[in-house]
Structure 1
Amino acid sequence: MPDASSTSSSDAEESAARDGGTGAVDDRPDRAPVAGLVDALGVVDHAKRGLAVGLSLAAVVFGFFVVLPLVDPGTPARAESPILYVALAFVVATAATLLVASALAVRAVAGRVMDYAKWTRRAAVVAAVGGAWWALTGALALAVTVDVAPASVEPLVLATLPLPVLVLAVGAWSALARTGSADGDGTDSLDSDGTDVFDHVLARPRVANAGAVLALVGIALVHVATFLETEAFLGATPGNVTGAGFLVGGALALAAGTAALALAVHRRTRDTPLTTGASAFAGASLGLAGLVATEPLLTPITLLVLPGLAWILLGVTVARDPGTYPERPV
């Protein structure tokens, strides 16, 4: 009858033989599978979205510097070779792809540890401040245009004109985040098919997603317009068709996006007067957007004052009622 020691020795020898005769035993802990981590963070989806953004920006850069001067006689042609702009477009596409993919991956990680309600409230405060800044800039521009404010104010307006536009990008996130929160009962919100709305940003209401995209597009167009048609914000007629297009397109996209976000937030909150007011200001801006190219006096009102007032109300709404969120929003 074999004893326990001989059995143990035999098992050890068989194990050593399987390990190549080294006698070593692999007692390392199991390592997390890389595929599982990649899937959990949605790296592939983030890379696809980053690539889409990068290619879009590359197309815009090439179109702006190379194609636009060919189709618009009012835009001065570039002396540099188009090949240089192809290289520039490649750099822009690569950089934007990596930036967007990295930002989305960081967001996926942060979404599992952050206090969503707190950060939504903070972003909403930033949006309200940006809206106030924007409205004040528009009011000063309008005052200079009608000779109510002294001409010495004009350099201040021109120097700060592009800055509040970028601040409202944070506001677009806060409003979109608010539309994905629970309805105040502390439970997870579910889509019509039973899917948790935090499974993916696209699971939020379509109106909110479309509003955020339009608002960001409008912010970008208005930001570019502040460089191409700076004097238009002080009551001057746009210099060419391209500048007028950026003004009108920016006004339409920003107003429509702000109105859509206000509508989506209105459905989630109890601050009816504030969201109604935000929708009204955005709607007024939308109605006047088509006239900014022919009525220069309307430019600071339509692109700055009215959207700024709308974002003040929208930011205050979200800051006052950030909602309740699931334990691990994504």
Structure 2
Amino acid sequence: MPDASSTSSSDAEDPAASDGGTDVGETAASDGGTDSVDDRPERPPSARLIDALGVVDHAKRGLVVGLALAAVVFGFFVVLPLVDPGTPARAESPLLYLALAFVAATAATLLVASALAVRAVAGRVMAYAKWVRRGAVASAVGGAWWAVTGVLALGIATETGVPASAEPLVLVTLPLPVLVLAVGAWSALARSGATEADATDGDAFDHVHARPRVANVGAALALAGIAAVHTATFLQTDAFLGTVPGNVTGSGFLVGGALALAAGTAALALAVHRTTDARALTTGASALAGASVGLAGLVATEPLLTAIAVLVLPGLAWLALGVTIARDPGTYPERPV
């Protein structure tokens, strides 16, 4: 016969037996122990970082830009001389330009993807008001520079007050300010959405979604016009000095670029006008851009209007718009994107 004291002692030493034989592992599982945890491995930190930065989407956008640039490069150097007799043919083999197009596509893809990824990181930490102000200052400087270049070009073309020795300076600096205006287009686009009044009740303000549609269209037109006018400064340099455009292609870049740049500038000025109290300068920028639109269609037949419609008026418009944004860069959330 077993001793009662030994039986009670063994029961005390075995908690599982005293609990009705419940297994320790089952208890651990019921308490959320290791047996209830999913055994699937976690995603590596690099994969989470790629998802957070949207690298795949940026790469797709970069590829689209790269392919478009490759088509433009090949079309400009190979196809255009075949369809436009006024454009001189290239002596090199088309295969060389095909290789050039591939290099351009690859470089553009990597550049755009990297720039978008950097923007995704910078957008979470940058002080938007400060950078919008800096972009506006750059656009104001570029606009003033371009307007002065236009005045010098007009003076050379009309032989009134500007010596011919200034022509090399005009030709060297002619393509440069338009690149600065691309920064201004970004600052104007950002400024057009900088108003907390667009936030709905209970929703965090997001200046990207708050942008009016006219601002997005204006920025696209302005950037397209900037690119076309920049190309025209190489194809039709003499047109800025009062000479009739020499071929249809150069004339098309000149007129189309001037119209797009002026229309985009006017649209951005109107969008910024909506969100700022500096109404006089934005109204002046819209009026100057509108006058440029009216004159841009005549530059192919009236060469003296080229410097006014393509350089002076848009330059003054961007000077006024840049000063407006620099004085009032807007209000943004701490992490706008």
CA contact (8 A) 1:202 1:209 kept: no
Shift of 1:82: 1.6
DSSP-derived class of the 1:56 partner:
helix
CA contact (8 A) 1:191 1:203 kept: no
Equivalent positions of 1:151-300 (< 5 A) are 151-183=164-196, 189-190=198-199, 196-198=205-207, 201=208, 204-300=211-307
Classify 1:169/1:63 alpha carbon distance in 2 versus 1 (closer, same or farther; 3 Å).
Answer: same
- Is 1:78 matched up with 2:90? yes
In the alignment, structure 2 segments of 5+ residues that lack a partner are 1-12, 16-23, 26-41
Shift of 1:87: 1.5
Classify 1:72/1:116 alpha carbon distance in 2 versus 1 (closer, same or farther; 3 Å).
Answer: same
Post-superposition Cα deviations, 1:137-176, rounded to whole Å, max 9, x if no partner, equal 0001001111111111111111111111111111011101
CA contact (8 A) 1:181 1:323 kept: yes
Shift of 1:37: 2.5
- Tell me which amino acid in the other structure corresponds to 2:283: T
- Tell me which amino acid in the other structure corresponds to 2:156: V
Classify 1:177/1:240 alpha carbon distance in 2 versus 1 (closer, same or farther; 3 Å).
Answer: same
Post-superposition Cα deviations, 1:14-71, rounded to whole Å, max 9, x if no partner, equal xxxxxxxxxxxxxxxx886444333322222222221221111111111101111111
Mapped to 1, the partners of 2:256 and 2:288 lie a distance apart of 18
Shift of 1:193: 12
Shift of 1:195: 7.9
CA contact (8 A) 2:81 2:87 kept: yes
Classify 1:80/1:111 alpha carbon distance in 2 versus 1 (closer, same or farther; 3 Å).
Answer: same
DSSP-derived class of the 1:256 partner:
helix
Post-superposition Cα deviations, 1:162-213, rounded to whole Å, max 9, x if no partner, equal 1111111110111011112224x7xxx4379968534xx5763221111111
Mapped to 1, the partners of 2:268 and 2:253 lie a distance apart of 22
Classify 1:124/1:68 alpha carbon distance in 2 versus 1 (closer, same or farther; 3 Å).
Answer: same
Equivalent positions of 1:80-159 (< 5 A) are 80-148=92-160, 149-159=162-172
Classify 1:41/1:301 alpha carbon distance in 2 versus 1 (closer, same or farther; 3 Å).
Answer: same
**TM-score (normalised: structure 2):** 0.84
CA contact (8 A) 1:128 1:311 kept: yes
Post-superposition Cα deviations, 1:263-313, rounded to whole Å, max 9, x if no partner, equal 111111111111111011111111111111110001110110000000001
Rg larger in structure: 2
- Is 1:308 matched up with 2:299? no
Mapped to 2, the partners of 1:43 and 1:137 lie a distance apart of 41
Q: Percent identity?
A: 77
DSSP-derived class of the 1:55 partner:
helix
Alignment-derived partner of residue 8 in structure 2: none
Mapped to 1, the partners of 2:210 and 2:92 lie a distance apart of 45
Alignment-derived partner of residue 62 in structure 1: 74
Q: How many residues align?
A: 303
Post-superposition Cα deviations, 1:105-164, rounded to whole Å, max 9, x if no partner, equal 101111111111011011101110100000000001001111111111111111111111
Shift of 1:247: 0.5
Alignment-derived partner of residue 318 in structure 1: 325
Mapped to 2, the partners of 1:195 and 1:253 lie a distance apart of 34
Shift of 1:86: 1.6
- Is 1:328 matched up with 2:335? yes
Classify 1:52/1:192 alpha carbon distance in 2 versus 1 (closer, same or farther; 3 Å).
Answer: farther
Mapped to 1, the partners of 2:297 and 2:129 lie a distance apart of 38
- Tell me which amino acid in the other structure corresponds to 1:45: D
- Tell me which amino acid in the other structure corresponds to 2:322: G
- Tell me which amino acid in the other structure corresponds to 2:219: A
Classify 1:290/1:38 alpha carbon distance in 2 versus 1 (closer, same or farther; 3 Å).
Answer: same
CA contact (8 A) 1:191 1:197 kept: no
Mapped to 2, the partners of 1:218 and 1:204 lie a distance apart of 21
Mapped to 1, the partners of 2:62 and 2:251 lie a distance apart of 30
